[in-house]
C-alpha cells in the first residue's frame, strides 16, 4: 500500500498532526506498555509499529514500559522475550526500559491523596459481595457499607493493607465515584488490591498492588506521554483514566486514544489463550512456528520487514476487523520472492535411474541461485545416473490436471535435460521404488522445436544430497474466528503440522549465507536446526502455488 493510503487509514496521525499544528504539544511521546505475562504476538506488533512508528515519524520518543502490576502472572523470561522481540522488529525504545513498578511509591502517595480528599475508601466487602453490589448494565449498583467511613479510618485501613494486616481479598482500595454510573467502570473501581507474591522487580517490598487503571494513567503522566494509545476495549476506561488524572495533583496530563485490535483468521491473539496452547502441549512452545507470536513467526521464517509492512497495510482504525491470513502471507512472499535464494529439495523421494548413463557418470551443472537476480550467483549441482524426484511428480497414467513425469512420456528436469520414463519397478506392496528413464543428451539448455514435454520438475542427484526433515505447517485452527468460541480448543486443526523426510542439496547451508530458501516449485522454507550434525530441519514458511508448472 502506498504511504498516502496508509495515512488515510491511520486516524491517530491526524490527531497528532492537529495537536502539533495547534501547538498543544511540541514533541510527541508515546509508549508501548506490555504486561510481561506472556510472549508478544502479531497484535502487539501492530501496537509496536504504531507507537514506535509515530515517534520516529514525528521526531518524538517512545518508551517501553512494562505494565507490571500483577506479579502472579509475570516473570523475567517474558520481560526478556518482549525486549528481544521489539529489538528484532527493528525498534529502539527511549532511554532505559521502564516499569510501572518504578512508580509504586508515587502511586501509593497518590492513593493517600485521594483518600485525604474523600475520593477513595478501603472496602472490606469480599470480592463476591463487591461484584454483587456493582449491579449490571440494567441495574444500578449499591453503595458499600464501608463507603462513608471517615478519612482517618480509611488512612488507617489502607496502611494496614500495606503492612500485611489483611489477607488476600479481605480488603481493597476503591475510588469513590458513582455506584449508579451508566459506565460500570465508574462504579467505585478498585485502585489497589492485596497480592502476597514476590514481584520480579520490587521483590517483597509490597503486598498491595495498584490496578492497571490506577497505575497506567499515572505512569503515563509521570513519563510525560502525549498520546497514550490503546485498544478499543479500554474505551470506557478512558473515563476513569481522565477522572484519576483530574483528581490528583499531578503536573502533567496525558490523553488516551483507542483503536481496534488486530484479529487474524484461523488464529487467536490473546496471551492468555496462547499460554493454554503452550501449557497443554498443543504446540511445542511460545516459539512454535505455528504460533502467531513474534518469536513463532521469526522461527517460521518471517522477516521483521514483512511484519512491519503488514502492520502498515492493515492501518489503524476504530472498526472491528478480521484480517485474512493471506495478507500476512503476501507480505512475506513479496519479501522472499526478491530475497530468498532458490534451491532444490525433495520432500517425498522416489528414485529415477537413467539407464543410458554409466553408473559412475558425473556432470556438474551450474545453476542460478535466483532466476532474476544474477548478482546472487550460481552454484554447482550434480547430474548422475541416479536421481530423486518427488513422488507427487510421477503418474503411471496420463491425467489432464497434472504436469508431471508420466510413464512413456517426456519431462524436463529443471536446469537440466529432458528425460523419458520407460519402466517402473515396484516392491511387494506395489509401491513404486524406481523409475527407469532415458535422458536426451542434446537437450541441456536447448529445447528442440516441436517437442512437447509435460513440464519442468525439480530433482536431486542421489550423490549430492543431505538428509532433511521438512515441517509443513498449516493454520492452527480449522475455523475462521476461534477467538469467538468459548471452547476454542475444540477447533484445533489436528493437521497443522505434517513432517516429511527427504533431501536437500548437499552444500545448501554451506555455500549460501541464507537461512531461508525457495525450494523450487514447493515453497519457501527456513532452516531451523540440525540433528546429529547431518539432518537439516526446515520449516515451511509458505507454499508456492504450483498448480501450473511452466515449461522451460
Please identify, among the stretches 186-194, 268-276, 428-436, 538-546, the one whose residues bind ligand ATP according to the rule CB under 6 A. Answer: 268-276
Pick from 29, 271, 454, 521: which binds ligand ATP (CB under 6 A)?
Answer: 271
HSE at residue 239, side-chain half, CA atoms within 13 A, is: 14
Q: C-beta of 255: minimal distance to ligand ATP in Å?
A: 15
- 136 burial via Cβ count (<10 Å: 0-12, 13-18, 19+): exposed
How many chain residues bind ligand ATP (CB under 6 A)?
16
| Residue 444, Cβ density class (10 Å: 0-12 exposed, 13-18 middle, ≥19 buried) | middle
For the bound state, the minimum distance from the C-beta of residue 38 to Mg ion, rounded and expressed in Å, comes to 9
Closest to 257 (Cα-Cα) out of 225, 296, 211: 225
199 binds, among ligand ATP, Mg ion, none (CB under 5 to 8 A by kind): none
Q: Binding partner of residue 231 among ligand ATP, Mg ion, none, CB under 5 to 8 Å per kind?
A: ligand ATP
Contact segment (CB under 6 A) with ligand ATP among 2-10, 41-49, 280-288, 481-489 equals 41-49
261 is catalytic: yes
Of 9, 20, 35, 489, the one binding Mg ion by CB under 5 A: 35
Number of Cα atoms under 13 Å in the Cβ half of residue 32: 28
CB of 263 to ligand ATP, least distance (A): 7
Kindly write down the DSSP assignment for every residue of 491-541, as one continuous string. Answer: GB-TTSEEEEEEEEETTHHHH-S-SEEEETTTEEEEEEEEETTTEEEEEEE
- Considering only residues 339 through 368, tell me which ones interact with Mg ion, judged by CB under 5 A: none
* 44 touches ligand ATP (CB under 6 A): yes
How far is C-alpha 142 from the chain's CA centre?
43
Burial of 108 (0-12, 13-18, 19+ CB in 10 A): middle
Binding mask 46-75 for ligand ATP (x = CB under 6 A): xx-------------------x--------
Distance in Å, CB of 500 to ligand ATP, minimum: 33
From the candidates 65, 98, 271, 466, which is the catalytic residue?
A: 271
Residue 43 binding ligand ATP, by CB under 6 A: yes
Q: What is the DSSP string of 308-339?
A: HHHHHHH-B-SS---B-HHHHHHHHHHHHHHH
Residue 35 appears among annotated catalytic residues: yes
Write out the three cell numbers for 499. Answer: 513432517
In the Cβ-directed half-sphere of 501, how many Cα atoms lie within 13 Å?
Answer: 3
Stretch that binds Mg ion, among 29-37, 50-58, 199-207, 387-395 (CB under 5 A): 29-37
271 is catalytic: yes
- In whole angstroms, the minimum distance from the beta carbon of 237 to Mg ion comes to 11
Rounded Cα gap, residues 280 and 464, in angstroms: 41
Q: Which of Mg ion, ligand ATP, none has residue 350 at its interface (CB below 5 to 8 Å by kind)?
A: none
Query: 12-15: which pairs have CB atoms within 8 A and are 24 or more residues apart?
Result: 12/50, 12/54, 12/227, 12/229, 12/257, 12/259, 12/316, 13/54, 13/57, 15/227, 15/257
Beta-sheet pairing, 227-231 with 208-210 = unpaired
**Residue number, 268 or 508, with CB nearest to Mg ion:** 268
C-beta closer to Mg ion: residue 199 or 333: 199
Q: Where are the beta strands (DSSP E) in 384-488?
A: 386-390, 394-395, 405-406, 410-413, 418-426, 432-440, 456-457, 460-461, 465-473
231 binds Mg ion (CB under 5 A): no
Is residue 172 near ligand ATP by the rule CB under 6 A?
no
Which of the residues 147, 253, 261, 409 is marked catalytic?
A: 261
Q: Which is nearer to ligand ATP, 35 or 386 (CB)?
A: 35
Compose the 193-232 pattern: x for residues touching ligand ATP by CB under 6 A, - for all others.
-------------------------------------xx-
Stretch that binds ligand ATP, among 145-153, 264-272, 279-287, 292-300 (CB under 6 A): 264-272
Site for Mg ion, rule CB under 5 A: 35
Residue positions annotated with a catalytic role: 35, 261, 271
Amino acid at each position: 500500500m502506498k504511504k498516502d493510503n496508509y495515512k488515510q487509514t491511520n486516524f491517530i496521525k491526524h490527531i497528532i498532526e492537529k495537536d502539533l499544528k495547534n501547538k498543544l504539544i511540541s514533541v510527541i511521546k508515546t509508549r508501548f506498555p506490555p504486561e510481561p505475562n506472556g510472549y508478544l504476538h502479531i497484535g502487539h506488533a501492530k501496537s509496536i509499529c504504531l507507537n514506535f512508528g509515530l515517534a520516529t515519524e514525528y521526531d518524538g520518543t517512545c518508551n517501553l514500559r512494562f505494565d507490571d502490576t500483577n506479579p502472579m502472572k509475570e516473570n523475567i523470561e517474558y520481560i526478556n522475550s518482549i525486549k528481544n522481540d521489539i529489538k528484532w522488529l527493528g525498534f529502539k525504545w527511549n532511554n532505559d526500559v521502564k516499569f510501572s513498578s518504578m512508580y509504586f511509591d508515587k502511586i501509593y502517595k497518590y492513593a493517600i491523596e485521594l483518600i485525604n480528599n474523600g475520593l477513595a475508601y478501603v472496602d472490606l466487602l469480599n470480592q463476591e459481595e463487591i461484584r454483587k453490589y456493582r449491579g449490571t448494565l440494567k441495574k444500578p449498583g449499591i453503595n458499600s457499607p464501608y463507603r462513608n467511613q471517615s478519612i482517618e479510618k480509611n488512612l488507617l485501613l489502607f496502611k494496614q493493607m500495606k503492612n500485611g494486616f489483611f489477607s488476600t481479598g479481605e480488603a481493597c482500595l476503591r475510588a469513590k465515584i458513582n455506584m449508579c454510573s451508566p459506565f460500570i467502570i465508574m462504579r467505585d473501581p478498585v485502585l489497589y488490591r492485596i497480592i502476597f507474591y514476590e514481584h520480579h522487580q520490587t521483590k517483597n517490598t509490597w503486598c498491595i498492588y495498584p490496578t492497571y487503571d490506577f497505575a497506567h494513567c499515572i505512569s503515563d503522566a509521570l513519563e510525560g506521554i502525549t498520546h497514550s494509545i490503546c485498544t478499543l476495549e479500554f474505551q470506557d476506561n478512558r473515563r476513569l483514566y481522565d477522572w484519576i488524572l483530574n483528581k490528583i495533583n499531578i503536573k502533567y496530563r496525558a490523553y488516551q486514544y483507542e483503536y481496534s485490535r488486530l484479529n487474524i483468521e484461523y488464529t487467536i491473539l490473546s496471551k492468555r489463550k496462547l499460554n493454554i496452547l503452550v501449557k497443554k502441549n498443543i504446540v511445542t512452545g511460545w516459539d512454535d512456528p505455528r504460533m502467531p507470536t513474534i518469536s513463532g513467526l521469526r522461527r517460521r521464517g518471517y522477516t521483521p520487514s514483512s511484519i512491519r509492512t503488514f502492520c502498515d497495510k492493515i492501518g489503524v482504525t476504530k472498526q472491528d476487523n478480521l484480517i485474512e491470513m493471506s495478507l500476512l502471507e503476501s507480505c512475506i512472499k513479496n519479501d522472499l520472492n526478491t530475497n530468498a535464494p532458490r534451491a532444490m529439495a525433495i520432500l517425498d523421494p522416489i528414485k529415477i535411474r537413467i539407464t543410458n548413463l554409466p553408473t559412475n557418470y558425473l556432470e556438474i551443472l551450474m545453476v542460478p541461485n535466483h532466476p532474476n537476480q544474477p548478482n546472487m550467483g550460481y552454484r554447482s549441482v550434480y547430474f548422475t545416473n541416479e536421481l530423486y524426484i518427488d513422488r507427487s511428480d510421477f503418474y503411471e497414467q496420463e491425467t489432464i490436471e497434472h504436469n508431471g513425469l508420466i510413464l512413456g512420456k517426456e519431462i524436463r528436469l529443471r536446469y537440466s535435460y529432458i528425460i523419458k520414463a520407460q519402466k517402473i519397478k515396484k516392491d511387494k506392496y506395489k509401491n513404486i521404488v524406481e523409475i527407469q528413464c532415458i535422458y536426451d543428451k542434446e537437450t541441456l539448455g536447448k529445447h528442440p522445436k516441436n517437442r512437447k514435454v509435460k513440464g519442468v520438475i525439480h530433482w536431486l542427484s542421489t550423490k549430492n544430497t543431505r538428509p532433511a526433515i521438512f515441517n509443513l505447517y498449516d493454520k492452527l485452527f480449522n475455523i475462521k474466528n476461534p477467538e469467538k468460541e468459548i471452547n476454542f480448543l475444540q477447533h484445533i486443526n489436528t493437521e497443522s503440522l505434517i513432517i516429511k523426510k527427504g533431501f536437500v542439496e548437499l552444500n545448501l547451508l554451506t555455500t549460501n549465507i541464507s537461512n531461508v530458501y525457495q525450494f523450487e516449485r514447493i515453497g519457501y522454507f527456513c532452516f531451523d536446526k540440525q540433528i546429529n550434525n547431518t539432518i537439516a530441519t526446515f520449516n515451511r514458511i509458505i507454499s508456492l502455488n504450483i498448480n501450473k508448472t511452466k515449461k522451460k
